[in-house]
Amino acid sequence: MQASVQLLQLMSEIGYMACFSGDASRSQTIMDGVSAIGVEQIPIKMGLAITKVYGGLYDQAINILRDDILVKEPEHMSAKCFLGIALIQKGQRAEARELLENVVQYGNKDESSIAAAYLNS
């Protein structure tokens, strides 16, 4: 199935809305579908990974972030940030700290703020 970029963006936004309103299950279903259609698009993979983090599926999020996104874009600061968050949740603080410190230094304002909050927690 081929979907337009606009449709994938709209569906991703709906997935985010579900995620941030506390409906992690519905969000993951939506984002899994978006990912299946837009399989090669980094923004789609990021959305899927973020919903996995918020849904507590840290191993799945780590796999997407580390093995899909960062392999293709090694300096993707949002991916490093959310990978750091997932690793903290898994108790892997040393690796998380290294990633989050890198994001604080090189990420944009939003990424740096999120990373700093997790470093200081």
User: What's the pLDDT tens digit per position in 33-58?
Assistant: 877 776 667 887 888 898 899 889 99
- Of 77, 20, 76, 75, the residue nearest 53 (C-alpha): 20
**Cβ contacts of 68-75, under 8 Å, gap ≥ 24:** 69/42, 69/45, 72/42, 73/42, 75/106
Higher pLDDT pick, 14 / 70: 70
- How far apart CA 71 and CA 64 sit, in angstroms, is 10
Residue 23, Ramachandran bin (φ over 0: left; ψ between -120 and 50: alpha; else beta) = beta
Q: What 8-state DSSP symbol labels residue 3? A: -
Kindly calculate the radius of gyration of the chain based on its CA atoms and give it in whole angstroms: 14
- Of 65, 61, 89, 91, the residue nearest 77 (C-alpha): 65
pLDDT over 80 at 4, yes or no: no
- How far apart CA 100 and CA 84 sit, in angstroms, is 6
- Lowest average pLDDT, out of 21-25, 57-61, 99-103, goes to 21-25
Compute the mean pLDDT over every residue in the chain, rounded to the nearest whole number: 88
pLDDT over 90 at 13, yes or no: no
pLDDT tens readout for residues 71-104: 999 999 999 999 999 999 999 999 999 999 999 9
Percent of the chain with pLDDT over 70: 94
